Structure 1
């Protein structure tokens, strides 16, 4: 058994890079690969933890965001936030919130996603939502706290 654990650790260490130690960007992919791997206060669940890490390493950021929103295991029957929103609705709500309340971080996220695309991304609609919100006037959009 220790051989398998050793090989797993060896592979993990070789694959780790400096970028694995920090989040990809601070709005949607704020959890680092290192935090997920070492459960450093991040109670990530499978299969989402592995999907998140793989998608980040493959630069499939729509897939990574999709996994990020499910990584804590709180999506039930496709709904998040106590059954109030779908994952895509939650991403849209967060995008609006970031654009209104953290515009610099949101602008950095948008610039990042504009600069990196991967045709193998299984959830391009996630990035499309972020790009759409970037172009929208969200000043009149309001989401009540807690629902």
Structure 2
């Protein structure tokens, strides 16, 4: 069985790209009013049919008293298919939560700051997350890993 250290050694980051970016300001909101922020996060793992790649998609939706913001970023990873077939669900979950998520968060943070600067005339700065602070149940969405 493969552990997370073997996955890190055998897996390479192929690309990171935005797949969703949206902001909408409530024109009746007063710039002098306090802004309340309520974020929600969704993480999805998408295993490609070729068995050689998988994608981790991280979406952030933020409801505020001033409007709505959405940002989605995907990281694609290449790996030898034998590693994935042998990997335990726990190793994949640990890789996604502690490696992939740390790749994606800075992009989401930058995307949210950029789009809110343009739409709300001031950037919304997401907090800095420490590794492990955000954690997703990856095991429930994993395909059967046996070859």
TM range (shorter): under 0.3
State which structure, 1 or 2, has the greater radius of gyration over its C-alpha atoms: 2
Normalised to the residue count of structure 2, the TM-score between the two structures is 0.23
Normalised by the size of structure 1, how large is the TM-score? 0.23
Which structure has more helix as a fraction of its residues?
Answer: 1
Higher relative contact order (Cα pairs below 8 Å, separated by 6+ residues): 2
